[in-house]
Chain A
Amino acid sequence: MKSNLWNILKKELREMFRDKKSLAMMLVIPIFIPLIVIGMSAVFEGTMNMPITDYNTIGFDYELNNVEESIAQELQINPVYDTESRLEEKFLSGEIDLYVTKEGVVYTMHGSDTDTTQYASGLVESYFDAYKAYLQKDYLANHNVDADEVLDIIVLESDIGTEENFFVSYIISYAFLFIIMAITVSATYPATDTTAGEKERGTLETLLTFPIKSRDIIVGKFLSVTVASIITGLISLVLAVISLKVANGMFSIYEGVNLMLSPAALLYAVVVILAYSFLISGICIAIASKSASFKEAQSALTPLIFVSLFPGLIAFMVGITTNNVTACIPFLNYSIIFSDIAGGYVNGLHILLMLVSTILIIAVVLRVIIKQYKSEKVLFG
């Protein structure tokens, strides 16, 4: 007898695409990705590029000489002179952003741990660096020494990532992590509906009277949930790429950053989305089909959303990178390989290991579900 897999899949897809909640889960969740990308970019941009007038009013408990005044003017420092106690009052009332006291050759900066003080202290440090360099050059010149030769005895150049690049890679990593979460959320609803929902509505009994092998029923349901997950994943990916492009044109923190937009990188991202969609759909169906009711299944699946996020979050925090072992660990592997793709680094072996481990897990999960569908306790319990 021919396989009825296609008939089951067709029925499941029809039901899914006609169900408003399933459609909403599939299509609405990805919309949060542009909001996250643009929102995070705006926050980081605001932090990175605070206007100088917000932190350049600096208090001094001594009079600046001509040279100091000239340097302060060049660095756009707006000096305010007063006694230490009055400066402290002015700082607390917000009139000044930081103040400096002098005792002999010791200069002390006073402030708090706010962003404004941090920016102001950076400005004052630049001011003192410039003043110190002036004094050193002046001293050496008075002692007939070529200041440039002494002070530039070594040259230090920098080729490390800028702070702006760090912020952007942070945003990209979180955008991709959100794609993983969107796929998980998208899989939970149709998985619940097609298993516990079908049981609750009483249509499962009808399905079981049909001359269909339980394997075809399971695989049909599994594929339909996978289709929903893939649709969400692909929409999320497209929106992530578009919103990163838009953010690139809107915010200066993206200057000089090479965004992940090459066709090969996009192809790898699609492979990760496909693999994760298959895995999460299988797991969702396995959990939901053991539940007696729709509500019970939803409660059972909710932790899965956090489980899908945590390994990626922890990996970003503690700096776990992709290797032959981590590429095989479910949930963790998708997040860190996504990060690699975002960073423009892709290892074919890691992708292969991720695919092999995913296929093995799916095979086990499907066996478990097929066994469950032969259990009367699961079907009618």
Chain B
Amino acid sequence: MLKADNIKKKFTKLIKKKEKVEFYANNGISLEAHDGEIVGILGPNGAGKTTLLRIIAGILEPTSGMVTFDDLNYHDNETEIKKNIAYLSGNTKIYNTLSSYELLHMCADIYGVLKTDIEPRIMEIAKILDMESFLYNRIGSLSTGQTQRVNIARCLIHNPKYYILDEATSGLDIISSQIILNFIKGEKKKGKTILYSTHYMEEAENICDRVLMINKGVVIASGTPGEIKKSTETTNLRDAFFKLIEGDNHEE
């Protein structure tokens, strides 16, 4: 089980290049994700989704609060935890000068996949994601959709238990988005735990078991899509979100 407990993350920003102002990108966020569950993190741009997922993925350290994976925390078991995680964001870039094969081989090595298992594992994933035709081409020469498939393959190579996906479909065309969504559904069926952040409310409604709506660094609602719609007396998550933040964003 993945558990984030009262996560706070403070940043400092410069206003007009002079005045330093502190602000909380996350201000006391807690969540749980159980095995075989897709938990959606929903919110507009700047709500604190990326910061939260970076903290959960171990890229950033929280100012306070703790993240645990099966009761292991980053302070004592960072590499052990990271071996069981796959992180993919809409901004995730991969090495253009390497071929897909070289990248997957490197990732498998880094994640400690057995030497004898690496080659068959790469071939198996290449077949599943239909990458065989460009497996040995340099990533820099691939199309956006092909690159995204390589990114998914990178996440699959070590058969992780947890997926942390941050705006993974952002900016992608309909076909590339569908590849990602199919991948998420497929991994859920295998019992994997998936954290999925997006600002596409309809997308989240379709694939998430539970959602966490955040705005300005705090949780404004959580539960199944049905529960949130019911509590806000709306018919979809988009309307629910607007109802929840009604009046709150006018000051900006």
Contacts and interface: CB of A to CB of B under 8 A. Distances in A.
A14 B112 contact: no
A162 interface: no
A15 B91 contact: no
Interface stretch (A68-76, A133-141, A207-215, A333-341): A207-215
Given A7-B106, A211-B82, A206 B97 contact: no
Interface in A1-24: 1-2, 4, 7, 10-11, 14-15, 18-19
Contacts of A208: 58-59
A211 B77 CA distance: 10
A208 B78 CA distance: 11
B138 to A, nearest CB: 8
B61 A205 contact: no
B146 interface: no
Contacts of B102: 14
B250 interface: no
Contacts of B94: 203, 206
Contact of B93 (A4, A7, A14, A206): A206
Contact of A11 (B61, B89, B106): B106
B97 A19 contact: yes
A203 B110 CA distance: 16
B109 A205 contact: no
A19 B86 CA distance: 28
Interface residues of A, number: 23
Contacts of A2: 112
B79 A203 contact: no
A205 B106 contact: no
Interface string B76-93: 001111110111010111
Interface of A: 1-2, 4, 7, 10-11, 14-15, 18-19, 201-203, 205-206, 208-213, 376, 380
14 contacts: A2-B112, A11-B98, A201-B93, A203-B95, A205-B89, A205-B92, A206-B94, A208-B58, A209-B57, A210-B107, A211-B78, A211-B79, A211-B83, A212-B79
